[in-house]
Amino acid sequence: MNNELQAILNYMEKERGLDREVLIQAVEYALQSASRKDLARNKDVRIAIDRKSYDIKAFAKKLVVEDVSHADEEILIADALAVDPAAELGEFIEVEVTPRDFGRIAAQTAKQAIIQRIRAAEKEVVFDEYKDRVGDIVSGSVRQFIRSDIIVDLGRAEAILPSNERVPTEEYQIGDRIRAFVLDVRSESAGPSVVLSRSHPNFVRTLFELEVSEIGDGIVEIKGIAREPGYRTKIAVVSHDEKVDPVGACVGMRGMRVKNIVRELSGEKIDIIRWSDDTRTYVANALSPAKLAKVTIDEDDPSLVHVVADADQLSLAIGKRGQNVRLTAKLLSMKVDIQKDEQEADFEKQLAEAVEALAAVEGIGPENAQTLVTVGFLTVDGILAAEVADVAETTGLELDAAQAIYDAASGVTPVASESPEASSEEDVSEASSEEDVSEEAPEEAPEEAPEEEAPEEEAPEESTEDAAPVDETPAEEDAPAETPEGDDEPGAEADAEAAEEPPADETDKEEEKA
């Protein structure tokens, strides 16, 4: 029994984790290479190791002849029959040709060959182990740097983390522990190459599968992942059980599940969104937290989505340096076009113009103009159409301040084309009939008088009185203020109303005017 060989095989099997049969075959192959020096003339040499005694024997094929001329390649028929009773002339039989000192010579010569074969066997074991682990997460330590690539010690194997699979915001030192995603296992001449990645989107997917039990059980499904390594990841999830909230399941109690993943990703932000089979809803969810005004799919290009956002939501929808919209497009595998809401822009422009117009009115000012427009008073006419008390209540201003605004608005009210100063003698002569009309219908005068008159000599409070007495001179001056309405009415109506008055009143009025 070859105890020395048995001890070596036991050690290799235990320490290196190699299969004993693989080791024996490696030794046989190495000894076969080494034996060719002693048995060079016969190329058909076979080495056999007994699986029980571990004895080593060499066998060679020889030609059966009657007369031997080359002893290394031929054998007498008599000797051949002793080895194989069925041997015949002209046939090849296998004969043991083990040299006497073959054990010592073979051990020395085959040492390096055995080591090489063992290394090859180890590489095969590594390949067989990791070829089925593609998609898994493994842990190791940083062993060395080769340029910008990292060599990771996985224990029984080495792996490489290429520079293009690293996260740009992460830095490592020799000896640091690292977790990575097994991206690929390649069988190369130098041995198997295990390629790792920390930037691949499936690294995040696998982390969620390990952290969220509902995903592992198939209750919650990950429908898509878009990632910019080191900065932000969007992950779309859906629940196959209506009782389970997919977003809540991924976030976890007090956010512990997603916090663990963020910690593993060195602080990378993660957006967990609800998947929907409706593209418009899916886009709205993906662009959250931005609120969208409108989402439409292009009729000519179904892969193009048009998004309209309000002005205050546009930058939020686009994201920092376009990150939010890029990730959304990647998540949906579509093109996303975001535009500002033009209707809102026009409305904002109108509001700005309204503020500017009111601020230009003497007595209102920019601050009050902004307040008035905010609560809905966009024009001077709008202010005058309301009561002073309503203006004060709506704007939250004091009554005196509201009165001042009202008076200021009254001062810019459009008047008739013929001003009081330019009124002709005929207008004064017609004042009596117009005064009669105002006396008969006093409810119309209070509304129109403040809007149309603009006398500079009157006190502000007089412009807000319900009606001026018909026998006072200011009433004559105010008469043209009602021209916008009075000019359009037939004169017959005024005459009919004047006819109803007693003759004595008309006589008195004529005397007063004279």
CATH number, domain containing residue 52? 3.30.1480.10
For residue 164, the enclosing domain spans 131-197
pLDDT for res 491 = 40
Give the residue carrying structure tokens 């193009």. Answer: 304
On the question of pLDDT at 269 being above 90, the answer is yes
Query: Do 157 and 81 share a structural domain?
Result: no
Domain membership flag for residue 268: no
Residue keyed to tokens 């330590």: 141
pLDDT value at position 313?
86
pLDDT at 250 over 70: yes
Tell me: pLDDT of 114 over 90. Answer: no
**Do 11 and 107 share a domain, yes or no?**
yes
- pLDDT tens column, 406-429: 778 777 644 333 333 433 334 433
Cα 497 from Cα 484, distance rounded (Å) = 19
Lookup: tokens for 339: 């535009």
Shared-domain flag, residues 297 and 393? no
Residues 314 and 368 in one domain: no
Residue 164 belongs to domain with CATH number:
2.40.50.140
Burial 38-59 (b: 16+ CB within 10 A, else e): bbeebeebebbbeeeebebebb
CB 320 within 8 A of CB 290: no
Residue ranges in 84-110 assigned as alpha helix (H): 102-109
* Domain-embedded: residue 227: no
Q: pLDDT band for 67, please (50, 70, 90 cuts).
A: confident
Kindly report which listed range (88-97, 296-305, 346-355) carries the lowest average pLDDT score.
346-355
- Asked whether residue 419 is domain-assigned, the answer is no
- Residue 35 shares a structural domain with residue 107: yes
Query: Are the beta carbons of 412 and 363 closer than 8 angstroms?
Result: no
* Per-residue confidence (pLDDT) for residue 408, from 0 to 100: 80
Q: What is the pLDDT of residue 359?
A: 80
Is residue 258 situated within a structural domain? no
Q: Which amino acid is at 321?
A: R
Among 316-325, 364-373, 387-396, 482-491, the range scoring the smallest mean pLDDT is 482-491
Identify the top-confidence range among 86-90, 178-182, 391-395: 178-182
CA distance linking residue 409 with residue 451, whole number of Å: 9
Same domain flag for 111 and 143:
no
Whether 73 and 162 map to the same domain: the answer is: no
Q: Quick one: tokens of 493?
A: 């109506």
Q: Which of 160, 179, 197 is the last residue of a domain?
A: 197
* 26, 118 Cβ separation under 8 angstroms: yes
The whole-number average pLDDT for the span 271-295 is 91
What pLDDT shows up at residue 79? 84
- Count other Cβ atoms within 10 Å, centred on residue 425: 7
Q: Assess if residue 496 is contained within a domain.
A: yes
Mean pLDDT to the nearest integer, 445-473: 40
Q: Which of 287, 258, 293, 254 is nearest to 273 (CA)?
A: 287
pLDDT score of 245? 94
pLDDT confidence of 500, banded at 50, 70, 90?
very low
- Across the range 454-459, mean pLDDT stands at 41
Query: What mean pLDDT is predicted for residues 120-149?
Result: 87
3-state secondary structure of 488: coil
Q: Which residue has the higher pLDDT, 326 or 113?
A: 326
Same domain, 109 and 10: yes
Q: Is the pLDDT of residue 150 over 90?
A: yes
The more confidently predicted of residues 372 and 233 is 233
Q: Helix, strand, or coil here: 335?
A: strand
Ranges 115-119, 178-182, 194-198, 285-289: which has the least confidence: 115-119
Region of 255 (left: φ > 0; alpha: ψ -120 to 50; beta: rest) is: left
Residues in the chain: 514
Side-by-side strand order, sheet with 220-228: 220-228, 232-239, 269-274
Q: Is residue 213 part of a domain?
A: no
User: Residues 10, 95: one domain?
Assistant: yes
- Decide which of 310, 340, 370 is a domain's last residue: 340
Helix axes 399-410, 365-375, angle to 10 degrees: 100
Across 288-305, average pLDDT: 89
pLDDT for 345: 57
At 454, the pLDDT band (50, 70, 90 cuts) reads very low
Q: What number of H helices and E strands is found in the chain?
A: 24, 15
**CATH number assigned to the domain comprising residue 387:** 1.10.150
110 touches 81 (CB < 8 A): no
Regarding predicted confidence, which is higher, 152 or 71? Answer: 152
Classify residue 42 by its DSSP letter: -
The pLDDT mean for the chain works out to 75
Q: Count up the domains in the chain and report the number.
A: 5
List of long-range contacts for 186-191, beta carbons under 8 Å, 24+ apart: 187/127, 191/119, 191/120, 191/123, 191/126, 191/127
Do 333 and 236 touch, CB atoms closer than 8 A? no
Average pLDDT over residues 131-154: 91
Residue 512: what pLDDT?
45
Q: Which amino acid is at 323?
A: Q
Task: At 204, give phi and psi (nearest 5°).
Answer: -65, -40
Task: Specify if 254 maps to a domain.
Answer: no
Of 181, 197, 213, the residue that ends a domain is 197
Say whether 233 sits in a helix, a strand or coil.
strand
Provide the 3-class DSSP secondary structure of residue 195.
Answer: strand
Question: Tokens 């983390």 belong to which residue?
Answer: 161
In a domain, 44, yes or no: yes
Same domain, yes or no: 162 and 58: no
Domain of 323, CATH number, reads: 3.30.300.20
pLDDT tens by residue, 33-45: 766 666 655 567 7
**Shared domain check, 47 and 28:** yes
Tokens (6 digits) for 371 = 């307040």
**Do 205 and 221 touch, CB atoms closer than 8 A?**
no
Query: Residue 430, CB half-sphere, CA atoms under 13 Å: how many?
Result: 16
CA distance 65 to 22: 38
User: How open is the CA angle 345-351-356, to the nearest 5 degrees?
Assistant: 125
Residues 324 and 351 in one domain: no
Residue 104: what pLDDT? 63
How confident is the model at residue 73, as a pLDDT? 78
Q: How far, in Å, CA of 248 to CA of 292, rounded?
A: 23
Q: Cα–Cα distance between 56 and 47 in angstroms, integer?
A: 7
